[in-house]
Amino acid sequence: MIITALFIILVMILILPFLIRTIEVNIEYFLFVMGIIATLVSGVLSFKFFSHILMNHLMYLITGAVFLFGILFEFFKDNLKNIIALILKHISLKSFVFLLIVILGLTSSLITAIIAALLLVEIVHVLPLKHKDKVAIIVIACFSIGLGATLTPIGEPLSTIVVSILKTDFFYLIRTIGIYIFSAIVILGIIGVFYIKTLEKNNNKEEKKYFKKENKGIKEIEKFQYIFVRSFKIFIFILSLELLGAGFKPLVETYIVHLDARFLYWINMTSAVLDNATLASAEISPAMGVEQIKAILMGLLISGGMLIPGNIPNIIAAGKLNIKSREWAAVGIPLSLILLLVYYMLIFIV
């Protein structure tokens, strides 16, 4: 009875955000309600249990990081265009894009995936590139950010929740999947270079129209209230994932723990349409072996870049730069499938 109820809750979490727009735009609060229901069904919800979750310092660490770097970003964003112009005088556009993808990927675990995505949006917006090439760079860079942010618990909610569930140390994820992440980020940087073709100065009307739309989206994230709301939502999101992780424990221990790592790797292609942190909270268990954890994480992370809903950076960048789902998929799907095949061989065959 409990397993059936938990399965129904899981299906609701997977489907309702696609059917109801209000839920999609308020996903953090929806997941919080679902987390409460899941813990009630599992019989683990209590004042002591809730107090224990609130004592998790990682929740406050990532929320504080998002808020702090958001404030810093707000103060220094006006200097960004001048810095970019200065850099482009000394290095080629191709070199700049390579460094952009790699540096944002590597630093996202410290400045958080959200701030890395905001920086990406501001920078790519002013680059002399056609819209279709900007889309490609954004997709590739979001892959890099989504992967890199997982290296520490403050990078993004997925890494926070995994470290919390496994009750492990700050550097666990670097030790476990670091080699795969670092290599993927460099590969993505190289791929990004192939999309560089400088836009001619006499921009056509179509490109000017895109630029105006991008500018409008960016203005929204340059408001102080956006920083407060974003930080609060991150806190609620992580709290929700903690609840879901505890609530789904009977379901995980009954079915998922016993699945083969190779199957777990491919089944997590579902993170293309669902935020990978939500799936991680429902799948990860301390009872799993290292190979299973590697399979889950790499499957989630690589598939998370496939479509816009798969990761927080994707949603931010696509929304602010007016990138349509079809445009994202045209780059994200083939890139994700290639990376999935490459890392399947590296993890399970080599």
312, two tokens: 């927080």
Query: 315, exposed or middle or buried, with CB in 10 Å at 0-12, 13-18, 19+?
Result: middle
CB 241 within 8 A of CB 277: yes
CB crowding 250-280: b at 16 or more within 10 Å, else e: bbbeeebbeeebeebbebbbebbbbbbbbbb
pLDDT greater than 80 at residue 262: yes
Compare 177 and 30 and report the one with higher pLDDT: 177
Largest CA distance in the chain: 66
What average pLDDT score do residues 322-337 get? 89
| Helix intervals (H) in the chain | 2-19, 21-25, 27-42, 47-54, 57-76, 80-88, 93-111, 113-126, 131-148, 157-166, 172-193, 205-221, 224-247, 249-254, 261-267, 276-283, 290-303, 312-320, 325-348
pTM of the model: 0.81
Tracing tokens 């994707």 back to the chain, one arrives at 314
Please, what is the average pLDDT of the chain?
A: 83
pLDDT attached to residue 332: 92
Q: Amino acid identity of 171?
A: F
Provide the 8-state DSSP code for 116. H
pLDDT attached to residue 74: 74
181, two tokens: 């992440």
pLDDT attached to residue 229: 81
Q: What region does 203 belong to: left with phi over 0, alpha with psi -120 to 50, or beta? A: beta
Please state, for a pLDDT cut of 70, what percent of the chain lies above it: 90
The sign of the torsion formed by the CA atoms of 315, 102, 193, 198 equals positive
Q: How far is CA 292 from the centre of its chain?
A: 20
Tracing tokens 């701030």 back to the chain, one arrives at 115
pLDDT attached to residue 8: 87
**pLDDT band for position 224 (cuts 50, 70, 90):** low
Reported as a single tens digit per residue, the pLDDT across 183-211 is: 999 999 999 988 876 544 445 655 555 55
Reported as a single tens digit per residue, the pLDDT across 97-149 is: 999 999 999 999 998 888 898 889 888 888 888 888 889 999 999 999 999 99
Q: What ranges do the domains of the chain cover?
A: 2-348
